[in-house]
Structure 1
Amino acid sequence: MAARESENEFTTTHHVYEPHTAGLPPLRSYFTELWRRREFAAASSRANLRAANTMTFFGQVWMVLNPLLLAGVYFLLVNILSRGGKDMEFFARLTAGLFTFYFVQGAMSNGAGSVIGGGKLLLNTAFPRLLMPFAAVRTAFFRWLPTVPIYFVFHILAGNPWRWQMLAAIPFLLLLLLFSLGIAAFFGALQVYFRDTASFLPYLNRIWLYASPVLWQINELPGNFKKVAPILETANPLFSLLGGYTESLTQGTIPDLRVWALATAWAVLVFVFGSLFFISREREFAVRL
């Protein structure tokens, strides 16, 4: 009795267990805090860039050289399969699509490991966890930027037109960025529960590359692909997102309204679903690491 009376609710430690309930927090306050902590994502991204030596001269050279060599390999492969029917115009289009595809792939791969790689920061610091995959997308974007002037070199060599319609590539790029944020958030949360996710991503990305308008254009489908064109158009987000981007940039034309509609729908849908899925599960991350 005396021991009970000596307890004070302000000085005595009480351990209380409450079962976890997954769900969404108040989204307005969450995104307000997310915006307020945006510098955290920028600082984390800069640290990752420095760690990968991508802010040095030779680091940036390798960022450009790696996809450029891949573009050369695919160019030779397609030339062999088509018996030499491809020219510099095709190579310029190939580099534009391949560089941007690897931006999306990098955002997805880096986003998938962002939470798992958070370590003690995730356990000991209170902040909106969605900043982690968003920082991964920022890192992938800055790794992609050095490839832009390289593309324009091939654009000039190929004699591609310079028209104001090329500016239509900018909104498609913004939609690709929005799409990448959503897919990075989704895979970032998924890998917390299924650690083998990262092992399957390279195979998924390889299939995704062949099914996307990188080696071909959305208005010039190969004969074997024409049969499945309706499926690719609706089921593959990059059909409209990446296809609209490369068509605007390389040909200087405005894509069809259907391409715009599909690209916008996919970008918004994936961003909303991926972000909300991540936010609804982030309360469990600390106990699953």
Structure 2
Amino acid sequence: MSTLSDPLSLSAPRGADAGLTPQQLVAKYGLTVSGRRPGLPQYVRQLWARRHFIVSFATARLVAQYSTAKLGQVWQVVTPLLNCVVYFLVFGLILGNKSIPNYVPWLCIGVFIFQFIQSAVQSGTRSISDNLGLIRALHFPRACLPIAFTIIQLQQLLISMVVLVGIVLATGIMPGLSWLLILPTLVLLCIFNTGVALVMARIGAKTSDMAQLMPFILRTWMYLSGVFYSIEANIETWPKWIQLIADVNPASVYMDLIRFAFDPSHFNREGLPPHVWMVAVAWAVIAGLFGFVYFWKAEEQYGRG
């Protein structure tokens, strides 16, 4: 199907088309406006058709990310481990967290999972503004970019999970059936991160200052999500509405699910409350659907201006 930038700017028709109005020419030859946003079902089909491009783009960016460092891809594992060491020194030794058994794996799980959330949101925020050259040079669904950057962070997490498993085993925690819950939790978390990345990609494309503001927002979110301490033990006497917000905090929910999967003993005999899985699914569905539609609504605006 042919495209045109403006159907009303057609030059004067000649020959058999003489006398036809621009609107009649558009209808006759099936012309469409170049860059027009496709319908939602068509957009989904376009994304699926470019799934191999998304994976290849993500893999190439991941390999190139540490190409200038001497340790190369080792930094994918070293970075979260160094964060764990720093947080353990501060919150484990200096401030003390004696109420949390097996604090080291508990802390490492929180750091690794929140690092995935934080990196996906940050890279999603810059995914459009940092790739304007690619957007203006090639025609493809722009959602490929924030999705690809989320896949990059997922690949990094999967590499880090190998080290995390080693840490858990080294502290005496043996594999159990609960470990099977890790996979569905990561799937839900990946959907949630993709949705948030899509939302932030649209906002970041229009507001360049958002990329500078996000580190402060994410740092505040991290401190309020129980990455290094138990939220429940610190807000028992707080108002109910604050406890409710803490219960549905998506970062806390996904961290609790992974922590429970690795070591159910953290949650005593009662185990996880039944609402945790419902909240996790709800966050994934809401963020995924809303983020996708919200991003698609501005599809024809990315790279303009």
Q: State the TM-score, normalized to the length of structure 1.
A: 0.84
Indicate yes or no: 2:102 matched with 1:89. yes
| Structure 1 counterpart of 2:297, one-letter code | S
Report the Cα distance in structure 2 between the residues aligned to 1:174 and 1:82, rounded to whole angstroms: 34
Contact 1:49-1:55 within 8 A present in 2 as well: no
Residue aligning to 1:275: 292
Aligned pair count reads 273
Task: Using the TM superposition, give the Cα deviation of residue 157 of structure 1 relative to its aligned residue in structure 2, in angstroms.
Answer: 1.9
5+ long unaligned stretches in structure 1:
1-5, 11-19
Q: CA RMSD in A?
A: 3.0
Instruction: Pick from 186, 194, 200 the counterpart of residue 187 of structure 1.
Output: 200
1:93-242 matches, cutoff 5 A: 93-217=106-230, 221-224=232-235, 227=238, 228-234=242-248, 236-242=249-255
- Structure 1 range deviating more: 52-61 or 276-285: 52-61
Report the Cα distance in structure 1 between the residues aligned to 2:282 and 2:159, rounded to whole angstroms: 29
Task: Using the TM superposition, give the Cα deviation of residue 153 of structure 1 relative to its aligned residue in structure 2, in angstroms.
Answer: 1.7
| Change over 3 Å in CA distance of 1:85–1:280 after alignment to 2 | same
| Structure 1 counterpart of 2:298, one-letter code | R
Percent identity of paired positions between Structure 1 and Structure 2 = 27
| Structure 2 counterpart of 1:47, one-letter code | A
Larger of the two Rg values belongs to structure: 2
5+ long unaligned stretches in structure 2:
1-10, 16-32
Q: SS of the counterpart of 1:85? A: coil
Contact 1:166-1:251 within 8 A present in 2 as well: no
| Change over 3 Å in CA distance of 1:256–1:169 after alignment to 2 | farther
Q: SS of the counterpart of 2:98? A: coil
Report the Cα distance in structure 2 between the residues aligned to 1:155 and 1:145, rounded to whole angstroms: 15
Instruction: Pick from 261, 276, 280 the counterpart of residue 263 of structure 1.
Output: 280
Task: Using the TM superposition, give the Cα deviation of residue 223 of structure 1 relative to its aligned residue in structure 2, in angstroms.
Answer: 2.4
Q: State the TM-score, normalized to the length of structure 2.
A: 0.80
Residue aligning to 1:243: 256
Indicate yes or no: 2:79 matched with 1:62. no
